[in-house]
Amino acid sequence: MPSALLLDLYELTMAQSYFAHKKQTFATFDLFVRELPLNRSYLIACGLEDILSYIKTLRFSVKDLEYLKGIKVFSSDFIAYLSRFRFKGDIWAMPEGTVFFANEPVIRVTGSIIEAQIIESFLLNTVNLQAMIASKASRVVLAAKGRPVYDFSFRRAHGHEAGIKVPRSAFIAGFEGTSCVEAGKLYGIPVTGTMAHSYVMSFKHELDSFLAYSVTFPDRTILLVDTYDTRKGIENAVRIGLFLKGIKRRLVGIRLDSGDIVSLSKFARKALDKAGLDHVKIFASGNLDEFRIKELIDSGALIDSFGVGTHMGTSVDAPSLDVIYKISEVTDEHGDFLPTMKLSKGKVTYPGRKQVFRVKDSRGRFAKDIVALEKEKIKGKPLLVKVVEKGRIIYKQPSLEAIRTFTRKNLSGFTGRLKEKSPAYNYPVLISRKLKELRRKLSAELAKRQ
Amino acid sequence: MPSALLLDLYELTMAQSYFAHKKQTFATFDLFVRELPLNRSYLIACGLEDILSYIKTLRFSVKDLEYLKGIKVFSSDFIAYLSRFRFKGDIWAMPEGTVFFANEPVIRVTGSIIEAQIIESFLLNTVNLQAMIASKASRVVLAAKGRPVYDFSFRRAHGHEAGIKVPRSAFIAGFEGTSCVEAGKLYGIPVTGTMAHSYVMSFKHELDSFLAYSVTFPDRTILLVDTYDTRKGIENAVRIGLFLKGIKRRLVGIRLDSGDIVSLSKFARKALDKAGLDHVKIFASGNLDEFRIKELIDSGALIDSFGVGTHMGTSVDAPSLDVIYKISEVTDEHGDFLPTMKLSKGKVTYPGRKQVFRVKDSRGRFAKDIVALEKEKIKGKPLLVKVVEKGRIIYKQPSLEAIRTFTRKNLSGFTGRLKEKSPAYNYPVLISRKLKELRRKLSAELAKRQ
């Protein structure tokens, strides 16, 4: 159960001021990504599961309230209000696994302006990490062209929680498994892993280490062959392969973690096949990402499967999303919602309660998205789904496996250009005529607000 | 209490193989950074507090063991061993706040090879995040040249836990506070924050929003002035400043979050001073990092304080450390420790049980570090301190404030060149003659291990 204090202080100072001045005011906020990051043609929605369980359990504990009292920023009546606080608004969201683009609301919150403001930081933090990782991981999966990819990022993920959320997000994007055992336990993701260099080094001879391991795990041995001379390591692996074959077991694979992977993989394949060990797979790891995997495959590397760590687990080329949470409408003194928007230079937003429609072409492929006002009649699939109604979760979260399947299907609905590594392709995201008009009218009006 | 399953599966498969073959084997592992990342001349040790509480409470729970049983990888006697598992080894570490460099062991673990292996992933994950952030944050603090800097990164940190660990690491490095309330509660870090654009937009007029806020918080108002036209926003802030002055209160500041910060800050300073509001501070935020802050200050921006978010909180130019955990000695069949090392191309490590000595020059400044065998007599301060003895924590963790002071003092012992933004300066880290000899001798010997 996440702490209610996982937020920026200003959510609470604004809330206290709203409490004093705008108790009866309601508002709608859009959570969206302003610009796609470097190298990304699309993003994948992820994080809704955590958001729903946060909304469900969101309470300020006695200790939270004591802390807030202690910092002498808040009034006692506001703290009393927080002690009874529950989220009672509505939330619409794109289901996890939905492909989305810049300027499309991924989450839309309508509620009292206080409650809608208080949940901002948590929602941003959650979507930022999980959508960022799912999107990066999806690129890696595409680059591997059907070869299984495994998450090895735990040690370089940003902390223990990221170390668990990264494999979940990557699994949704099509990874086959993870090295992180806790993620396996929590989410049922297949776990994988065999040995490190230190294991090999703890024995007097490399062959001793290989033998010891394969005796312990005769059915799941993958030998790490690059601790000393990699070619000799491969020869030792062949010995173990033959030994296991002799006792009617199978060496699963070898792992290359350094050196010239292309030539080493060819050398290994040849040596293994020559010894009648064509069932033995070749795994590669070590600073891999979508670019490096493409390069390896294009250069003829004979790799069956990839272990991908740091670059995916930190989304190294784009370690954050430009994800923001902007007010789009607010009630007036009569309780009527009026559209609003931000005017700052280069940061203008779209006003009003919006929906995103995904439109197919005549061949049934996704041709464009249209961001429109919710009530516009547009032929296309609305992507935002109501998940919370008056504070109650009304969305049945699918199984992780189902989300993963949905992601794959969703992505396959786009043309190939979306999935090219680079340069990034601009899928058309249009703004409806009505929304454009509203924005134009409002711009002039809002300029008078100063 | 962190889960014992926060580890890579291979730690456990290796452990089971050690359990079968090497129950009586002991080993030493070094945790260190192989190469300094882009733009970094130094790193700051951070994360020891979490590591010590992990070591103290490390147990495999009934649910953990059930999960491990369920995946059908482990033998029942190994699972029984895990059910009784406690860490009983020794750990030496650099105290949090210690400046360190590439190839210097930051943590050294000696124990049964099983237990030393099992804690690997957690140690790497923890040091990777926290040392990475402390190091990035330290650069930001130096760039601000004495102006207070605040952490605004929660929304873009990699998940909820990183959102708490980032402000702690940044505070150690010299940040003054954070926007993250949970970090304030957990660590006593000062929290800060006032209003977002949505607050301003929820009112009919900007001035109404400013007024409402300053009535709610007459002693802690910082007005965000760039929601509409920033110069008009500054003029409205001046009105509020005069209003507060009239009722014997003080406007704390204004915040610039977009636009041409240099000219806007000059405009604001002039307008405020002219109105007799020279006590009102000017805060800047929005995509800041050490490079941008230097640029702003060098261009004459009149900024009193900086809010730094995404770039620091994700260490955007180097979102991971090349942190590794390598075996350096292992016992033979007589129980004697023998040095060992990794030979893979470009990844060679240093063998033996080591210490890092920091040597001063005649003027009392740090002149060089020497990585040596532990028992060598070297004039210099040994940086690794014993923190765990036979599984018992023997290190008294200083207060966060004390760590922060220590960091500042430690850094001030180096010459200015270490602290230049770029190009990165190479502080001399030498390898002792004896250690070089040992490595040379071992190289030849180890090559025969295949």
**Between helices B9-21 and B76-83, what is the axis angle to 10°?**
110
Domain boundaries, given as residue ranges, for chain B: 9-132+322-447, 134-313
The minimal CB distance from B320 to the residues A63, A165, A310 is found for A310
Residue B85 burial by Cβ neighbours in a 10 Å radius (0-12, 13-18, 19+)? middle
> Domain B134-313 in CATH: superfamily?
Aldolase class I (3.20.20.70)
Whether the predicted pLDDT of B420 surpasses 90: no
B198/A117 CB distance under 8 A = yes
The mean pLDDT value of chain A amounts to 95
| CATH number for the domain running over A9-133+320-447 | 3.20.140.10
Average pLDDT over residues B95-119: 97
A202/B25 CB distance under 8 A = yes
Q: Please state which of the ranges A65-74, B37-46, B288-297, B336-345 shows the lowest mean pLDDT.
A: B336-345
The minimal CB distance from A25 to the residues B121, B154, B202 is found for B202
Q: Which residues of B touch A11 (CB under 8 A)?
A: 193
> Domain A136-313 in CATH: superfamily?
Aldolase class I (3.20.20.70)
The minimal CB distance from B450 to the residues A10, A129, A205 is found for A205
Q: Comparing B66 with A198, which gets the higher pLDDT?
A: B66
Query: Both tokens of residue B294?
Result: 């230097």
B159/A165 CB distance under 8 A = yes
Residues contacting A4, CB < 8 A, separation 6+: A58, A59, A60, A61, A64, A85
Which B positions 347-366 lie with beta carbon below 8 A of chain A?
A: 347
Average pLDDT over residues B253-280: 97
Average pLDDT over residues B41-69: 98
The predicted structure's pLDDT at residue B422: 67
B325 Rama sector, left if φ>0, alpha if ψ -120 to 50, beta otherwise: beta
Whether the predicted pLDDT of A222 surpasses 90: yes
Whether the predicted pLDDT of A349 surpasses 80: yes
The predicted structure's pLDDT at residue A380: 96
Residue B344: pLDDT band with limits 50, 70, 90: low
Query: Both tokens of residue B355?
Result: 């210490």
> Could you tell me if B18 lies within 8 Å of chain A, comparing CB atoms?
yes
Whether the predicted pLDDT of B235 surpasses 90: yes
Which A positions 187-226 lie with beta carbon below 8 A of chain B?
A: 191-199, 201-202, 204-207, 212-213, 215-217, 220, 226
The minimal CB distance from A330 to the residues B184, B202, B319 is found for B202
Q: Which residues of A touch B215 (CB under 8 A)?
A: 20
User: In A285-393, at which residue ranges do the beta strands (DSSP E only) sit?
Assistant: 305-308, 323-331, 337-339, 354-360, 366-373, 381-382, 385-389, 392-393
Which A positions 53-92 lie with beta carbon below 8 A of chain B?
A: 63-64, 67-68, 71, 73
B227/A343 CB distance under 8 A = yes
* CA–CA distance, B389 with B93 (Å, rounded to integer): 12
Cβ-count burial B19-47 (b if 16+ within 10 Å, e if not):
bbbbeebbbbbbbbbeebbebbbbbbbbb
The answer to whether the beta carbons of residues A268 and A234 sit under 8 Å apart is yes
Q: Please state which of the ranges A165-179, B157-171, B300-314, B341-355 shows the lowest mean pLDDT.
A: B341-355
Which A positions 250-309 lie with beta carbon below 8 A of chain B?
A: 257-259
The mean pLDDT value of chain B amounts to 95
Phi, psi angles (nearest 5°) of residue B413: -75, -10
pLDDT in tens, A115-158: 999 999 999 999 999 999 999 999 999 999 999 999 999 999 99
Average pLDDT over residues A332-337: 94
The predicted structure's pLDDT at residue A274: 98
B193/A8 CB distance under 8 A = yes
B197/A2 CB distance under 8 A = no
Whether the predicted pLDDT of A107 surpasses 80: yes
Q: Which residues of B touch A13 (CB under 8 A)?
A: 193-195, 213, 216-217, 220
> Could you tell me if B13 lies within 8 Å of chain A, comparing CB atoms?
yes
Whether the predicted pLDDT of B348 surpasses 90: no
Beta carbons within 10 angstroms of residue A116's beta carbon: 28
The minimal CB distance from A228 to the residues B184, B198, B450 is found for B450
User: In A8-164, at which residue ranges do the beta strands (DSSP E only) sit?
Assistant: 26-33, 43-44, 90-93, 99-100, 107-112, 149-151
Residue B329, classed as helix, strand or coil, is strand
pLDDT in tens, B192-217: 998 999 999 899 899 999 999 999 99
> Could you tell me if A156 lies within 8 Å of chain B, comparing CB atoms?
yes
Whether the predicted pLDDT of A346 surpasses 90: no
B390 Rama sector, left if φ>0, alpha if ψ -120 to 50, beta otherwise: left
* CA–CA distance, B336 with B351 (Å, rounded to integer): 15
Q: Which residues of A touch B207 (CB under 8 A)?
A: 450
Q: What single letter denotes the amino acid at residue B22?
A: K
The predicted structure's pLDDT at residue B449: 74
Residue with tokens 């202690």: A70
Query: Both tokens of residue A28?
Result: 């709608």
Q: What single letter denotes the amino acid at residue A88?
A: K
The predicted structure's pLDDT at residue B439: 92
pLDDT in tens, B368-379: 999 999 999 999
The predicted structure's pLDDT at residue B415: 87
Whether the predicted pLDDT of B382 surpasses 70: yes
Which B positions 103-142 lie with beta carbon below 8 A of chain A?
A: 113, 117, 120-122, 124-126, 128-129
Q: Which of A33, A4, A2 is nearest to A119 (CA)?
A: A4
DSSP state of B353: S
Residues contacting B176, CB < 8 A, separation 6+: B148, B149, B150, B190
The predicted structure's pLDDT at residue B447: 76
pLDDT in tens, A441-450: 998 888 777 7
Element (H, E) at B183: helix B181-187
The answer to whether the beta carbons of residues B395 and B49 sit under 8 Å apart is no
Q: Which residues of B touch A264 (CB under 8 A)?
A: none
Rounded to a whole number of angstroms, the distance from the CA of B357 to the nearest CA of chain A is: 26
Whether the predicted pLDDT of A344 surpasses 70: no
The answer to whether the beta carbons of residues A261 and A301 sit under 8 Å apart is yes
A229/B2 CB distance under 8 A = no
The predicted structure's pLDDT at residue B291: 96
Whether the predicted pLDDT of B125 surpasses 80: yes
> Could you tell me if A346 lies within 8 Å of chain B, comparing CB atoms?
yes
The minimal CB distance from B155 to the residues A64, A124, A345 is found for A124
The minimal CB distance from A160 to the residues B63, B161, B342 is found for B161
- Fold of the domain built from segment(s) B9-132+322-447: nicotinate phosphoribosyltransferase (3.20.140)
Whether the predicted pLDDT of A397 surpasses 90: yes
pLDDT in tens, B52-65: 999 999 999 999 99
Average pLDDT over residues A265-279: 98
A8/B233 CB distance under 8 A = no
Residue B445: pLDDT band with limits 50, 70, 90: confident
A–B CB contacts, 8 A cutoff, strictly below: 351
Average pLDDT over residues A373-380: 95
Q: Which residues of B touch A207 (CB under 8 A)?
A: 450
